[in-house]
Amino acid sequence: MVCETCGHSHAPDPALIAGDNFSWKTAWSAIVAVGLRPCSGALIVLSFAFLNGLWMGGVLSVLAMALGTAITVTVLASIAVLAKNWAVAIAGNGRAGDGVQAFVEIGGAALVFTLGLVLLTASLNA
């Protein structure tokens, strides 16, 4: 992630919560660090609401957006972790497991790339 203000990356290092070094304290610090970044959509909604005197409507809208984002990210992350664990468990340890893991990771990246390319093509043709 790149900061919209200064252009630098402020994301926590994934190694902080990996493997033997995992603790809930470091996991929550990573979650809070990522969550503190202001959402440009929320800023637009708040600006519109405040300029029109709809203070409570703006705040409630942003809270609803935050809750929706939290639910969506939680579900998608859980599905991704479970799918990877199932794929590795089915393939077993060793060379076959590494091959399945690499296939799933590359396939997922290719799917996201293809979806982005389709959306870009559709927006350019509109």
pLDDT one-digit tens code per residue, 10-62: 555 666 556 566 677 777 877 787 777 778 888 999 999 999 999 999 999 99
pTM greater than 0.85 (yes/no): no
Count of other CB atoms within 10 angstroms of residue 33: 14
pLDDT at residue 95 tops 80? no
Pick from 67, 66, 49: nearest CA to 58 = 49
Structure-model confidence comparison of residues 19 and 92, the more confident one = 92
| pLDDT value, residue 19 | 59
Examine the pLDDT at 84 and tell me if it is beyond 60.
yes
Tokens 């396939």 sit on residue: 107
**30: which residues sit within 8 A by CB, 6+ positions away?**
12, 16, 17
CA distance 69 to 41: 12
With tokens 């979806």, the residue in question is 115
pLDDT score, position 31: 75
**pLDDT for residue 35:** 74
pLDDT of residue 14: 61
